[in-house]
Copies of this chain bind each other. A is one copy, B any other.
Amino acid sequence: MGTEKNTDSKSISNIQGKRKMLPSVDELCKGIFKGDKVALARAITLVESTQIENLKKADTIIEKCLGQSTDSIRIGITGVPGVGKSTFIESFGKQLTSLGSKVAVLAVDPTSSETKGSILGDKTRMQELVKDPNAFIRPSPSGVSLGGVTRKTRESIILCEAAGYDIILIETVGVGQSETAVHSMVDFFLLLKLPGAGDELQGIKRGIIEMADAIVINKADGDTVKKAKLAEVEFTRALQLYPPKENGWLPKVLSCSALENRGLNDVRTMIFDYVTKHKKSNFFQLKRQQQNKNWLLQTLDDQLKFRFYQDVTVKAELENMIQEVVNNKISPFKAAEKLLSIHKN
Report which A residues bind B (CB closer than 8 A): 59, 62-63, 66-67, 69, 151, 154-155, 158, 202, 289-290, 292-293, 295-296, 298-301, 303-305, 307-308, 321-322, 325-337, 339-341, 343-345
Instruction: Offer 6 A-B interface pairs, CB within 8 angstroms, sorted by A.
Output: A62-B333, A66-B330, A151-B333, A293-B322, A304-B304, A345-B345
Which residue, of A67, A303, A331, has the highest number of chain B Cβ atoms within 10 A?
A331
Main secondary structure of the interface of A (DSSP, over half): helix
Given the complex, which residues of B lie within 8 Å of A299, measured CB to CB? 332-333, 335-336
Cβ contact within 8 Å between A296 and B344: no
Given the complex, which residues of B lie within 8 Å of A151, measured CB to CB? 333
Report the minimum CB–CB distance from A289 to chain B (whole Å).
4
Cβ contact within 8 Å between B304 and A63: no
Selected contact of A332 from candidates B295, B328, B330, B339, CB within 8 Å: B295
A292-B326, A308-B300 given as contacts; is B345 within 8 A of A343 (CB)?
yes
Cβ contact within 8 Å between A325 and B293: yes
Copies of this subunit: 2
Given the complex, which residues of B lie within 8 Å of A155, measured CB to CB? 331, 333
Taking CB as reference atom, which chain B residue is nearest A333? B299
Report the minimum CB–CB distance from A237 to chain B (whole Å).
18
Cβ contact within 8 Å between B289 and A332: no
A335 and B66 CA atoms in complex are apart in Å by 13
Given the complex, which residues of B lie within 8 Å of A301, measured CB to CB? 305
Cβ contact within 8 Å between A327 and B296: no
Report the minimum CB–CB distance from A70 to chain B (whole Å).
10
Given the complex, which residues of B lie within 8 Å of A332, measured CB to CB? 154, 292, 295-296, 298-299
A290 and B299 CA atoms in complex are apart in Å by 28
A329 and B66 CA atoms in complex are apart in Å by 7
Which residue, of A299, A301, A327, has the highest number of chain B Cβ atoms within 10 A?
A299
